[in-house]
Amino acid sequence: MIRKPEIVRLVELGLGLLSIGRTWGTAKVPPPTRENGRLLIHEAYSSGIRFFDTAPAYGESEIVFGEAVAEKPDMLADISIATKMGEDWNPDLGVSWVSHSRDDLLRSINRSLDRLSRIDVLQLHKANPFNVTSSAVLSAFEHARKLGVKITGASVSDMETAALACQSGHYDLLQFPYNAIQPGFVDVFTMLRQKGMKAIINRPFAMGQLALQQNRHQSLIDAFSFVLGADFTGVVLTGTSSTIHLATNMAAFAEARRQCG
């Protein structure tokens, strides 16, 4: 699970696993083979990554991660496994589908647990003002806690849902996009601090828009520095299917954190 900070502010780099599970993005980037996906996860762990974020909607991502952990079970001693419920993937149609009914949420949790062997962080996918505190969702979280889930979160895409989640008292963290192009969630950080909640930041590079080809390393440092300029505790996700890009991103994050103090 996410470790409580021993200092005022602790932010770590995590690996988002969408890109190893299915085709994604405007460029329709295909996922790597399962073997290469497992190698990426092992390389991330060997390089110091300890937080991994997946979801049923990420195609075969949960399956590949489960296989990677089965190959190296010692990883389980010090990693945090985060997944989601509420959105799934139809491989035949190549589209995701959303359901927040209690039965579908329970099925999703049980299946994810079978695939992953353990869930440390469970997040509500496609959270909105109508489901973030619904009885079906809260019942599903209670079911998850009985299965060993310690941390609950919501993946949000609008301020209203973020505020409702914070005010509800049912969530330990929020996941949302935040970068220099999409700074709209800046006010969420204040709400999180007031409630003692953590953040999982996705899309720090704005889906590649901030990863400039010219002087790429500095552009990544600048992108991470913008995110680290916010006052929060939690995780910044980097998503890639390339071990080379992973190493580059990790180096840029380390430099940004050094510069930000």
DSSP letters for 13-42: EEEE-GGGTS-BTTTTBPPPPHHHHHHHHH
Confidence of residue 26 (pLDDT cuts 50, 70, 90): low
Report the DSSP beta bridge partners of residue 200: 175, 235
pLDDT above 80: residue 96? yes
- Structural domains for the chain: 11-260 (3.20.20.100)
Q: Mean pLDDT, to the nearest integer, of 3-10?
A: 43
Tokens standing for 19? Answer: 């890109």
Tens digit of each residue's pLDDT (9 = 90 or more) over 42-62 = 999 999 999 999 999 999 999
pLDDT above 70: residue 1? no
**Dihedral angle computed from the Cα positions of residues 228, 230, 235 and 241, in that order, rounded to the nearest 10 degrees:** -50
Report the DSSP beta bridge partners of residue 202: 177
pLDDT > 90 fraction of the chain, expressed in percent and rounded:
88
Query: Residue 225 and residue 173: Cα distance in Å, rounded?
Result: 21
pLDDT at position 131: 98
Predicted TM-score of the model (pTM): 0.94
Q: Are strands 151-155 and 11-16 parallel, antiparallel or unpaired?
A: unpaired
Q: How many angstroms separate the first and last alpha carbons of the chain?
A: 25
Q: Mean pLDDT, to the nearest integer, of 19-24?
A: 92
Q: Dihedral sign, CA of 154, 251, 233, 114? A: positive
**Average pLDDT over the chain, rounded to an integer:** 94
Query: Residue 180 and residue 224: Cα distance in Å, rounded?
Result: 9
Query: Residue 129 and residue 62: Cα distance in Å, rounded?
Result: 27
H-type alpha helices, 47-101 = 61-71
